[in-house]
Structure 1
Amino acid sequence: MVKAIRMYRTGGPEVMAYEDVELGTPGPGEILVRHHACGLNFIDVYFRTGLYPQELPAGLGMEAAGVIEQVGPDVNGLQVGDRVAYAARPNGAYAEARVMPAAHVVRLPEGISFETAAAMMLQGLTVQYLFHRTFHLQGGETILFHAAAGGVGLIACQWARAMGVQMIGTVGSDDKAELAKAHGCAHVINYNKENFVDRVREITDGKGVPVVYDSIGQQTFKGSLDCLSPLGMMVSFGNASGPVPDFSLSELASRGSLFITRPSLLHYTAQRADLEHMAAQLFSMVQGGKIKIDVRQRYALADVAQAHRELEARKTTGSSLIIP
């Protein structure tokens, strides 16, 4: 038996039960991982509330790092004692240990700690595909990235700087603005003080940006479209303020034949070769010092409800961890 978070219904933070769970043994293609640190991400809130449906009862959490304690049949390239990390479904990372498919984990290089890995896998792999696959940045572009002081945002600030990309970031407070600047964001807009559409137009001399990365959703969607230059791409990859409202496709035409996409990390990492390539690039950026993972909050597994409340209230900055 191990301690884990289980959900029997969707709703507020109170629906997460901290309880004993039968662990079982790995079957074919599976491993047992003992977690040393687990990631806390806003997507976990979407699953908890039911915005992203899943079969119940269910675990929660997509990201963790730890050590392999058991290996099932038909597992190649992994062995007991390996340090590993992952960002994958099905949910279940909020736990002391779990049995899971071996295909979802990657070996963790020496020099990258469990806490760093657990704080960067989902967020770092997200930035990798956003910048290198969803819209392939070449360097020299000016882009708009919402929530620049969050976990994904701070990694994006650093990755953009390393690529020679000028990032305009939005934040909700002056403290968060300073944090984004310190991590390499070229221009920071406090949307509680300034109209971000007007500021983007001012920064770009009225041209707009070729791509907007928007994880806020409802509150920023229409404004994000207004920030794009003709033929620009709207990348909607989250809904922190609520789902994107319905809109007419003609709005894309009227704003200059815009493109829009709603990507998901799981589709980009579905092929093992893609996962390994993306992880290797992320590890290289971290080991080379181009990206530093900023862990600013740590919560005990038993205090996960508090963690979710603070996450939803936007009281957190940088990355957050749950320590089993």
Structure 2
Amino acid sequence: MATAQDLAITSPPPDGISDLSFSSQADYLAASSWDNQVRIYEIQPSGQTIPKASYSHEAPALCVTWSKDGTKVVSGGADKTGRMYDVATGQSTQIAAHDEAIKGIKFLDQGQQILATGSWDKTVKYWDLRSPQPIGTVTLPERVYSMDTRQQLMVVGTADRHVLLFDLNNPTTIFKQTLSPLKWQTRTVSCFIDGSGYAIGSIEGRIGIQYIDEKDQARNFSFKCHRDEAGKSVYSVNDISFHPTYGTFSTCGSDGAIVFWDKDSKQRLKSFPTMNGTISATAFNRSGNIFAYAISYDWTKGYKFATPGNTNQIMLHSVLDADIRPKPNNKPRR
């Protein structure tokens, strides 16, 4: 069950929800789904939602994000294409192509026109929206499972636990190639809001906090989460979302749990009641006072559990400042 105060979005996707993204300009939420659709919802001050638009891929839509100015939504799918929806015109066009499914898609902070896509074809491609051909291609050691960008940093997590770091001042060269600090398959990566590092989550219920600068390496750490009390059952960490103001973050998992954390004081800030279903994706809105989460099958148990009776809901949680604001670290220094 979702918490009693949380509101369900009107007309949610009828199939698995793969990704959520808020506009940085207004309270509009985009959701990509395994039913091939990307849907856009307007969230009113009352918390009520209005379905505003949708557009289609030819196979499951796997990732979605907004342009910085809030005028466009872009998405990648198992149809091997990236698509762009223009909010003003209502038109959807193909803007990227790969040899396999596109699992990550991000606008770069340098401008509205440049887009990065990451694919199961083991490449990242850069696209100028004014040109049909990629303006750069980087070959990776494995398939892209997750990617994120903030400031000048782009982080790509692939199969076999590879993590590729890019300095977007020189985006076609891998700045640093490393392995995940976690022992099992990478599920999600998310950049700190200041671009100084990233959080990484794996299928075995662990989070790694990693800084980029060599002088900050002593601050790296990993911790367990999304496990049962006895530690006998471990669950996939499906998404990590950073609060846009405070830099604290949420994790969600296939255990149906959501937790808010403070990486600097290494504290748990808030735990949600466990939901009746896996949590597949999360997102904060631009001001951080709305937290969206998808209760939806996450495929961690394979196709046999992808039954028509599975819940597919997008819930909106009103974020209390006290639940997400960093807490002082009162631990004594060694």
Same topology, TM > 0.5: no
Where on the TM-score scale, by shorter chain, does this alignment land: which range? under 0.3
The structure in which a higher percent of residues are strand is: 2
TM-score (normalizing by structure 2): 0.27
The structure in which a higher percent of residues are helix is: 1
Higher relative CO (Cα under 8 Å, sequence separation at least 6) belongs to 1
TM-score (normalizing by structure 1): 0.28
